[in-house]
Structure 1
Amino acid sequence: MPPRTSLPRRAAKSPALRKIAVVLALVLAYQLWLVVQAQGKVGPGVGAQRDARGRFAVDVELGFAPERFHILRLQKHGRIAGTDGHVVHLRGVAPAGVDALAREYWIRHIEVPRRGS
């Protein structure tokens, strides 16, 4: 009778399970990268001037002129108040919305709106 191998040892030899483990590791690494790169995107003072509902305005800077896809994604987190080149002005953004926006890899920076915009 051949010696029995343990379940973890047999699983480690399985090509299908190794592929699943690699895909899982890649997804976890991507999520970690999103968290790390989001750290420096939110400028100082964002969320300091909140309205009665706890929401505030932000300017979202992109590295390109926004297209329909980007505007629709930004609308999930606030009201679009206009655009100036690569900057989209959002109003009524919740703190959780800023966190979600910062995790988007195509957003460069989130700032407090300048006066007059």
Structure 2
Amino acid sequence: MAAITCCVTDPSGTASHFITTMGDMKGCVERLERIKKVLDEFPDAIKYQKRSMDKTEVTLNELCNASDVDATVKARIFEYIQRHQANRCEMEHQHVESHRTYRSESEKECHGSCSEEENERL
């Protein structure tokens, strides 16, 4: 009991405890600042990915419509376009599912074109 009382009432013990606590708090603040920075950069990363997907889709459509592209290559490009649109639709569904809002009219259209089971799931 005397050791506890001495540690709590001794100024050097109190100061040592205070310094340790402040060091721990500083570490927590630094971690929270790093997390905030990552979260602040997240919307920009999503916008970049969406723009990249838009450019990819435009390029695939141009290749599919080009007259000097072989028919078998066009068939493969068409498959990629369909897969690309399915991926975009899935991303939009995930956004709707997590936020319960639509970011654009295309998301509403995409959501409306799903089967009844998919719409109920969302």
- Name the TM-score, length of structure 1 as normaliser: 0.29
Greater fraction of residues in strand: 1
Which protein has the larger Cα radius of gyration, Structure 1 or Structure 2? 2
Greater fraction of residues in helix: 2
Greater RCO between the two (CA within 8 Å, min separation 6)? 1
